[in-house]
Amino acid sequence: MHGLVNKLVQSFIEDIYNPDMWDAVVRDSKFEFRDFEAMLVYDDDVTDLAIDGAARVLGKSRDMVLEDIGAYLVTHKNMEPVRRLLRFGGHTFEEFLYSLDDLPDRVTLAIPDLEMPTMEIREYTRHNHTLVCTWRKPGFGSVLLGMLRALGDDYGVLLMLEMSRIVDGKFARETIKIELLEIDFSEGREFHLAADGTG
């Protein structure tokens, strides 16, 4: 997995909890180094070790940690560049949902080494969608769940989300049901295409 993913786990722990907590994860996972490098590529195992270590140290389930990471990606000020890149996808939350089909390709265009799961958005009614995420292991779905919930707040809409999962040896399919309850629920957060610090 790309260093960015591992670095994300580290940043999440350091920013939401504190650096000592990350030291605890490093010890628990028996890593030989303290810091991940965002621009290097690591073995898949390393990411799993980091997440499992985080789950143990925090006393939460893997899924809960992954969901929190998803929310962190959208809400924390240190992750502002990520939030911006997600909001490029759509002016409204609905538009954003449709852009999820393109998200993996866009990310690959920007960072070719960063592997992304396959994502497919299906519309049932205007306010009912499902997002199907397929990858060789479960986990991304939980991150997306946390991310979508936080993005709902960011766009100012009220959502109901539910995830189900099928794991079948070589692959995992995670399906998130997204129901848009209210479009103008709250102000949401501002976003400008221009990256000059105002949004």
Q: What does the binding site for another protein look like in residue numbers (CB under 8 A)?
A: 37-40, 81, 84-85, 88, 90-91, 95, 106-107, 109-111, 192-196
Which of 37, 123 has the CB closer to another protein? 37
In the complex, what is the shortest distance from the CB of residue 160 to another protein, in angstroms, rounded to a whole number? 26
Question: Measured from the CB atom, is 36 or 163 closer to another protein?
Answer: 36
The CA-based angle 100-114-194, given to 5 degrees, is 60
Report d(CA 118, CA 104) in Å as an integer. Answer: 7
Cβ 11 to another protein shortest distance, Å: 12
SS3 state at 46:
helix
d(CA 107, CA 185): 30
Residues 141, 174 contacting (CB under 8 angstroms):
yes
Question: Shortest gap between Cβ of 92 and another protein (angstroms)?
Answer: 9
Of 5, 143, 176, 170, give the one whose Cα is nearest residue 74.
143
Closer residue to another protein in complex, CB, 38/64 = 38
Residue 116 to residue 96: CA distance in whole angstroms: 18
Question: Rounded to the nearest whole angstrom, what is the least distance from the CB of residue 111 to another protein in the complex?
Answer: 6
Using a CB cutoff of 8 Å and minimum separation of 24, what contacts does 26-33 make? Answer: 26/53, 28/53, 28/56, 28/57, 29/53
- What is the sign of the dihedral through the CA atoms of 87, 91, 93 and 97? negative
Query: Residue 85 or 160: which CB sits closer to another protein?
Result: 85
Judge residue 46's burial from the number of C-beta atoms within 10 Å of its C-beta, 0-12 exposed, 13-18 middle, 19 or more buried.
middle
Closest CB to another protein among 84 and 177?
A: 84
Looking at the Cβ atoms of 110 and 168, the one nearer to another protein is 110
User: What is the nearest approach in angstroms of another protein to the Cβ of residue 101?
Assistant: 13
Q: How far is the CB of 124 from another protein (least distance, A)?
A: 23
